[in-house]
């Protein structure tokens, strides 16, 4: 009996995260990432630059003794670098034991986008498009939903394009 | 059985049995190498099987117990009938089969699976062998001939200890002497026989001296050293008996008396002069000879050759190997405990935190510049204790490479047989210790290198003979300490790397980015570490399973090590692995460049100094150099190399740090030195490492105030400088840092 109750709560928790996206703004554009990948949101910290990294890897930060890299989403999406401001945030995401901080202009809100309201991205090979998992519509607004996993693992391809 | 993991008895059983099985495997390999099972080894194997049988049936792993039981029976027979001329090589095959079976079962248990393997096949084989042994005592050429063979690997010694006249309780002194060496002895007799309870013993020892007849694998010098330490000793006569005298000395019922008479007579061969052949391990020589005599074991010639191999190994590190092999036979069980490595890791992390916390307190910005005499005194005490704790924890984690090296024995043996090659494995310096974590990371690469050496490195026997080399190929594993790092060399005396073939392959795969003529041999050989490179066309069972040398390099790089290869056509190949002694904590000098902090390992720093603007020389290509005491060193400006914003531009304003590696020097230009401290090395995040763009940075560390400092990789900096890659970094639109 207790077993069924437990699995029920697990399901519920998964359920409560399903279809939920954390949205943030980068260069005026609204993006969303699945909430289950997000560990925490922190303010800007002192970033220690690491040499020889691609531009979008700004360096590493000390997150309570854990050292994680931070990635500037503006630069990642080939937008011009902008000095960090008060509202600049770092979203810490955790995927397959890999922690990374995403620097965004500002964090907006958590929204619910049912899978029915997500459209497949257009098959346009525009750069940066590869990370778009789908286009979500909520309350008349359009959010670009990011495939975080791809964002973190597509480095090799990215580098080849660079050279 | 259900999952018992976590149950202390179960864990203890696993740990103990695993250790015993490892010990067993090593013993079998050693015996096989010598050409037979010595009496001592048979006893030892019997004891091991007995223990495994006992504990396995207690744990109700009946298949393991049944197998152990069968093997115990077999060895019990061998023990009682040492003259049985067994098929030793078949026996070791069978034993190894048993070892493998038990290992598989233990592995299952460790993973929480039931030990459900079917042991009956192996048991059947064991029973058949035992039957054959019982039936065939007559087939084997007489017990008398086999007599000396049973002592193979062992030597006979006689000793007479005479105590000073004023010595009280000479029998007790004699017992002390006996006690000192008894753990070494495979067989021992002494006169008087009963030292402690016989009232006459004291008088006999006093009048005639204490006589010992020993059979042991120890050298004369070791025995002499042990025996001569007894107090009140007036005279020590120690002789080695000629092999022929053995039968009288041991087997004869009146052996004690006969031996006693002999000891006094000049028939006994002179003891080897001390230091004449220092490392010549007893047993290796006998092993070689007897291998030759018995012929059928492994071919007379190879027996002799392998004997040489051992004695050569004995020269360098024979004694430690024995010790590592039989973990302190005499030591009582209470002195060691098994500790889960995870706990040690946690302890290590905590000590790391402690070191940081200590720095936070003693270098707290709030007390900078204050004159706090008592505080400083207490802080120094704290520092001292922290350092000691840290050293101890490190020490606990240090493991000799011997176990790792010995695992290669089995690989060499199995592969050599499969491929029909005679291969001897030599080990040098296996007592060298490195951090447990590092051991885990280098085992696979080492295995790969050894496999490669046997498979590709060593030629087939005919080819070797045609090239005028001994038929038996030799692979040498060598470890040595070199400052803060350990070098491991894997050397073979095979055909060497094929320069032309490597070049051809590299070209075909588009891996060659420089004109051939510009590359020296070393650089060409280094190409084999590139991903996607493998010169062997056909895939064999052992190597070339799509795993290339690049993986070896990666594994080694993960622990901050490097690998290089050198080869001489027709003479062999040497792989040199350099690994740090420990990963965890280093002494470092912190330096600042612009807003970024760097830590340089203190072991690499020769000196630091200020320079004048005029001291810097610039060559036409823009490379800067400085002359210090008549020697010219390159200057690397860190802010330029790492594109750090805000670094000082004028040489006189900053500081030059002369770093050194392998005798080469390099001056690093930084803004200022912040001081020296112990830092806990953390690896950079996996994401960053995966980008694989790091040059000159080996890791990072947290300083007392929570800021991050990057640890410089001096070797890497040398490479950058060597390549002259200053401008190659890629043009970035804007410098780092905010």
pLDDT in tens, A106-137: 999 899 888 888 888 776 655 556 778 888 88
* CATH 3.40.50.1970 correct for A19-162: no
Range with the poorest average pLDDT among A3-7, B43-47, B220-224, B493-497? A3-7
pLDDT of residue B231: 72
What pLDDT digit, counting tens, does each position of B418-438 carry?
888 888 888 998 888 888 878
Measured between CB atoms, does A67 come within 8 Å of chain B?
Answer: yes
Task: Residue B597: list chain A partners with CB under 8 A.
Answer: 48
**Chain A residue with minimum CA distance to B706:** A62
**Chain B residue with minimum CA distance to A151:** B687
- Distance, in angstroms, between A37 CA and closest chain B CA? 16
**Chain A residue with minimum CA distance to B705:** A62
User: Contact, B239 vs B271, CB < 8 A?
Assistant: yes
Say whether A60 and B697 touch across the interface (CB within 8 A). Answer: no
pLDDT of residue B463: 85
The residues near B149 (Cβ < 8 Å, ≥ 6 apart) are B36, B290, B294
**Chain A residue with minimum CA distance to B685:** A68
What pLDDT digit, counting tens, does each position of B184-219 carry?
777 777 777 777 777 777 777 777 777 777 777 777
- Tell me the domain boundaries of chain B: 8-144, 154-282, 286-324, 341-399, 401-580, 585-729
Helices (H) and strands (E) in chain B, counts: 24, 22
Q: Which of A51, A57, A84 lies nearest to residue B697, judging by beta carbons?
A: A51
For residues B649 and B114, what is the distance between their CA atoms, to the nearest angstrom? Answer: 68
pLDDT at B229 over 80: no
For residues B59 and A144, what is the distance between their CA atoms, to the nearest angstrom? Answer: 60
What mean pLDDT do residues B697-725 have?
79
Residue from A45, A49, A94 whose CB has the most chain B CBs within 10 Å, to mutate: A49
**A134 vs B264, residue with greater confidence:** A134
**Chain B residue with minimum CA distance to A158:** B691
Measured between CB atoms, does A65 come within 8 Å of chain B?
Answer: yes
User: Contact, B214 vs B156, CB < 8 A?
Assistant: yes
Q: Which of A52, A67, A81 lies nearest to residue B695, judging by beta carbons?
A: A52
Class for domain B585-729, per CATH?
mainly beta
**Chain A residue with minimum CA distance to B645:** A49
pLDDT of residue A47: 92
Give me the total of CB pairs closer than 8 Å, taking one residue from chain A and one from chain B. 83
CA dihedral of B600, B601, B605, B611, whole degrees rounded to 10 = 10
* CATH 2.70.98.40 correct for B8-144: no
At B318, the pLDDT band (50, 70, 90 cuts) reads very low
- Distance, in angstroms, between A127 CA and closest chain B CA? 19
- Distance, in angstroms, between B309 CA and closest chain A CA? 48
Measured between CB atoms, does A92 come within 8 Å of chain B?
Answer: no
pLDDT of residue B375: 92
Q: Is the dihedral of CA B671, B676, B679, B683 positive or negative?
A: positive
pLDDT of residue B515: 75
Burial call B185-202: b when 16+ CB within 10 Å, e when fewer: bbbebbbbeebeeeeebb
pLDDT of residue B476: 92
**B738 vs B699, residue with greater confidence:** B699
pLDDT of residue A138: 82
Q: Which of B686, B691, B734 lies nearest to residue A98, judging by beta carbons?
A: B686
pLDDT of residue A97: 75
Share of chain B above pLDDT 90, in %: 8
Measured between CB atoms, does B697 come within 8 Å of chain A?
Answer: yes
Burial of B556 (0-12, 13-18, 19+ CB in 10 A): buried
Structure tokens belonging to residue B471: 């038929």
Nearest Cα to B45, choosing from B62, B80, B21, B66? B21
pLDDT of residue A101: 94
pLDDT of residue B152: 45
**Chain A residue with minimum CA distance to B729:** A52
pLDDT of residue B319: 35
Task: Residue A65: list chain B partners with CB under 8 A.
Answer: 353, 702
Measured between CB atoms, does A98 come within 8 Å of chain B?
Answer: yes
**B141 vs B633, residue with greater confidence:** B633
- Distance, in angstroms, between A52 CA and closest chain B CA? 6
Measured between CB atoms, does A63 come within 8 Å of chain B?
Answer: no
The residues near B273 (Cβ < 8 Å, ≥ 6 apart) are none
Say whether B687 and A152 touch across the interface (CB within 8 A). Answer: yes
pLDDT at B714 over 70: yes
Structure tokens belonging to residue B302: 């190879």
Say whether B693 and A48 touch across the interface (CB within 8 A). Answer: no
Classify strands B708-712 and B596-601 as parallel, antiparallel or unpaired. Answer: parallel
- Distance, in angstroms, between B680 CA and closest chain A CA? 11
At B718, the pLDDT band (50, 70, 90 cuts) reads confident
What mean pLDDT do residues B532-550 have?
55
pLDDT at B474 over 80: yes
The residues near B703 (Cβ < 8 Å, ≥ 6 apart) are B356, B359, B590, B597, B677, B679, B709
What pLDDT digit, counting tens, does each position of B268-287 carry?
333 334 333 333 334 333 33
At B84, the pLDDT band (50, 70, 90 cuts) reads low
Say whether A67 and B644 touch across the interface (CB within 8 A). Answer: no
Measured between CB atoms, does B360 come within 8 Å of chain A?
Answer: no
The residues near A78 (Cβ < 8 Å, ≥ 6 apart) are A127, A128
- Distance, in angstroms, between B594 CA and closest chain A CA? 11
**B568 vs B39, residue with greater confidence:** B568
For residues B479 and B475, what is the distance between their CA atoms, to the nearest angstrom? Answer: 13
Measured between CB atoms, does A11 come within 8 Å of chain B?
Answer: no
Q: Which of A51, A54, A60 lies nearest to residue B708, judging by beta carbons?
A: A60
List Cβ<8 Å contacts ≥24 apart for B610-614: B610/B652, B610/B655, B610/B656, B611/B651, B611/B652, B611/B656, B612/B651, B612/B652, B613/B650, B613/B651, B613/B652
Q: Which helix (H) or strand (E) holds A53?
A: none
Say whether B738 and A83 touch across the interface (CB within 8 A). Answer: yes
pLDDT at B381 over 90: yes
Nearest Cα to B612, choosing from B554, B667, B570, B653? B653
Say whether B733 and A55 touch across the interface (CB within 8 A). Answer: yes
User: Contact, B704 vs B360, CB < 8 A?
Assistant: yes
Whose structure tokens read 């979008």?
Answer: A56
Mean pLDDT estimate for chain A: 81
- Max avg pLDDT among B95-99, B364-368, B377-381, B614-618: B377-381
| CATH annotation of B401-580 | 3.30.565.10
- Tell me the domain boundaries of chain A: 19-162
- Distance, in angstroms, between B346 CA and closest chain A CA? 15
Measured between CB atoms, does B695 come within 8 Å of chain A?
Answer: yes
Q: Packing angle between helix B373-397 and helix B341-362, nearest 10 degrees? A: 160
**B168 vs B622, residue with greater confidence:** B622
Mean pLDDT estimate for chain B: 74
ipTM of the prediction: 0.81
* CATH 1.20.140.10 correct for B341-399: no
pLDDT at B589 over 90: yes
Q: Where are the alpha helices (DSSP H) in B527-685?
A: 549-558, 638-641
For residues B220 and B239, what is the distance between their CA atoms, to the nearest angstrom? Answer: 8
Q: Which of A47, A50, A155 lies nearest to residue B684, judging by beta carbons?
A: A50
DSSP annotation of B249 reads: I
- Find the radius of gyration of the CA atoms of chain A: 17
pLDDT of residue B547: 57
Helix (H, G, I), strand (E, B) or coil at A71: strand
User: Contact, B471 vs B454, CB < 8 A?
Assistant: no
**Chain B residue with minimum CA distance to A85:** B738
At A60, the pLDDT band (50, 70, 90 cuts) reads very high
Q: Packing angle between helix B8-34 and helix B39-58, nearest 10 degrees? A: 160
Phi first, then psi: give them for residue B458, nearest 5 degrees: -80, 140
- Distance, in angstroms, between B555 CA and closest chain A CA? 19
Provide the chain B residues 653-682 that lie in CB contact (below 8 A) with chain A.
682
**Chain B residue with minimum CA distance to A51:** B642
pLDDT at B254 over 50: no
For residues B478 and B429, what is the distance between their CA atoms, to the nearest angstrom? Answer: 6
| CATH annotation of B154-282 | 3.30.70.1110
What mean pLDDT do residues A23-44 have?
91
What mean pLDDT do residues B565-593 have?
84
User: Contact, B249 vs B262, CB < 8 A?
Assistant: yes
pLDDT of residue B365: 80
User: Contact, B711 vs A48, CB < 8 A?
Assistant: no
pLDDT of residue B255: 37
Other CB atoms within 10 A of residue B245 CB = 19
**Planar angle of CA B366, B369, B375, nearest 5 degrees:** 70
Q: Which of B641, B700, B737 lies nearest to residue A60, judging by beta carbons?
A: B700
């Amino acid at each position: 009996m207790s077993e069924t109750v437990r699995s029920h709560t697990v399901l519920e928790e998964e359920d409560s995260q399903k279809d939920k996206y954390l949205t943030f703004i980068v260069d005026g554009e609204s993006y969303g990432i699945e909430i289950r990948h997000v560990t925490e949101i922190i303010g800007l910290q002192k970033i220690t630059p690491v040499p020889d990294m691609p531009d979008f890897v700004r360096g590493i930060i000390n997150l309570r003794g854990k050292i994680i890299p931070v990635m500037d989403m503006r630069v990642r999406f080939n937008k011009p670098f902008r000095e960090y401001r008060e509202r600049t945030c770092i979203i810490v995401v955790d995927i397959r034991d890999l922690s990374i901080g995403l620097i965004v202009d500002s964090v907006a809100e958590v929204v619910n986008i049912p899978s029915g309201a997500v459209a497949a991205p257009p098959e346009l090979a525009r750069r940066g498009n590869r990370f778009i998992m789908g286009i979500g519509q909520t309350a008349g607004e359009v959010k670009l939903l990011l495939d975080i996993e791809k964002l973190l693992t597509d480095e090799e391809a990215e580098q080849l394009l660079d050279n | 059985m259900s999952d018992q993991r976590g149950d202390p008895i179960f864990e203890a059983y696993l740990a103990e049995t695993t250790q015993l099985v490892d010990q067993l495997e090593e013993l079998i390999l050693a015996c096989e190498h010598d050409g037979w099972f010595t009496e001592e080894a048979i006893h030892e194997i019997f004891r091991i099987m007995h223990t495994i049988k006992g504990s396995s049936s207690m744990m109700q792993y009946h298949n393991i117990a049944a197998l152990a039981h069968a093997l115990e029976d077999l060895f019990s027979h061998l023990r009682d009938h040492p003259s049985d001329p067994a098929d030793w090589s078949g026996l070791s095959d069978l034993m190894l089969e048993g070892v493998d079976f038990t290992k598989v079962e233990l592995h299952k248990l460790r993973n929480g699976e039931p030990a459900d393997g079917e042991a009956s096949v192996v048991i059947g084989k064991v029973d058949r062998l035992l039957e054959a042994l019982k039936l065939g005592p007559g087939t084997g050429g007489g017990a008398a001939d086999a007599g000396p063979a049973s002592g193979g690997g062992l030597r006979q010694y006689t000793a007479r200890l005479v105590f000073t006249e004023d010595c009280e309780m000479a029998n007790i002194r004699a017992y002390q002497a006996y006690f000192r060496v008894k753990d070494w002895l495979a067989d021992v007799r002494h006169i008087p026989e009963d030292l402690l309870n016989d009232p006459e013993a004291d008088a006999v020892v006093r009048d005639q001296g204490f006589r010992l007849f020993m059979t042991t694998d120890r050298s004369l010098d070791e025995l002499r050293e042990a025996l001569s330490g007894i107090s009140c000793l007036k005279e020590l006569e120690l002789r080695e008996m000629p092999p022929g005298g053995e039968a009288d000395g041991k087997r004869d019922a009146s052996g004690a008396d006969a031996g006693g008479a002999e000891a006094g007579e000049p028939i006994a061969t002179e003891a080897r002069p001390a230091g004449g052949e220092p490392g010549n391990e007893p047993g290796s020589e006998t092993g070689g000879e007897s291998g030759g005599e018995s012929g059928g074991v492994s071919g007379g010639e190879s027996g002799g050759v392998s004997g040489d191999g051992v004695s050569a190994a004995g020269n360098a590190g024979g004694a430690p190997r024995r010790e590592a092999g039989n973990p302190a036979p005499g030591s009582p069980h209470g002195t060691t405990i098994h500790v889960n490595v995870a706990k040690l890791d946690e302890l290590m992390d905590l000590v790391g935190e402690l070191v940081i916390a200590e720095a936070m307190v003693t270098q707290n910005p709030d007390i900078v510049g204050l004159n706090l005499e008592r505080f400083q005194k207490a802080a120094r005490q704290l520092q001292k204790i922290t350092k000691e704790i840290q050293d101890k924890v490190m020490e606990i984690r240090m493991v000799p490479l011997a176990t790792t090296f010995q695992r290669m024995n089995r690989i060499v043996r199995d592969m050599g047989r499969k491929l029909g090659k005679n291969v001897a494995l030599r080990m040098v310096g296996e007592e060298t210790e490195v951090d447990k974590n590092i051991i885990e990371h280098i085992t696979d690469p080492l295995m790969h290198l050894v496999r490669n050496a046997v498979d590709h490195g060593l030629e087939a026997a005919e080819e070797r003979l045609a090239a005028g080399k001994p038929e038996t190929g030799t692979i040498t594993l060598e470890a040595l300490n070199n400052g803060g790092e350990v070098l491991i060399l894997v050397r073979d005396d095979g055909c060497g790397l094929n320069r032309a073939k490597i070049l051809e392959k590299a070209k075909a795969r588009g891996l060659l980015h420089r004109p051939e003529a510009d590359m020296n041999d070393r650089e060409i050989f280094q190409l084999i570490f590139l991903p996607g490179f493998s010169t062997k066309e056909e895939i064999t069972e052992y190597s070339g399973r799509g795993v290339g040398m690049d993986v070896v390099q990666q594994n080694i790089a993960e622990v901050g090590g490097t690998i290089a290869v050198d080869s001489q056509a027709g003479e062999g190949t040497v792989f040199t692995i350099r690994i740090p002694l420990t990963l965890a904590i280093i002494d470092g000098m912190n330096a600042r460049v612009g807003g970024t902090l760097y830590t340089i390992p203190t072991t690499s720093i020769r000196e630091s100094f200020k320079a004048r603007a005029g001291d810097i020389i610039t060559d036409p290509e823009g490379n800067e150099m400085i002359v210090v005491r008549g020697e010219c060193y390159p200057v690397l400006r860190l802010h330029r190399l790492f594109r750090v914003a805000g670094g000082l531009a004028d040489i006189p304003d900053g500081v030059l740090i002369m770093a050194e590696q392998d005798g080469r020097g390099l001056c690093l230009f930084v803004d200022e030195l912040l001081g020296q401290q112990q830092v806990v090395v953390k690896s950079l995040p996996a994401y960053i490492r995966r980008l694989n763009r790091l040059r000159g940075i080996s890791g990072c560390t947290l300083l007392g105030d929570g800021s991050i400092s990057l640890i410089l990789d001096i070797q890497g900096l040398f490479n950058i400088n060597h390549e002259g890659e200053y401008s190659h970094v890629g043009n970035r639109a804007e410098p780092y840092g905010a």
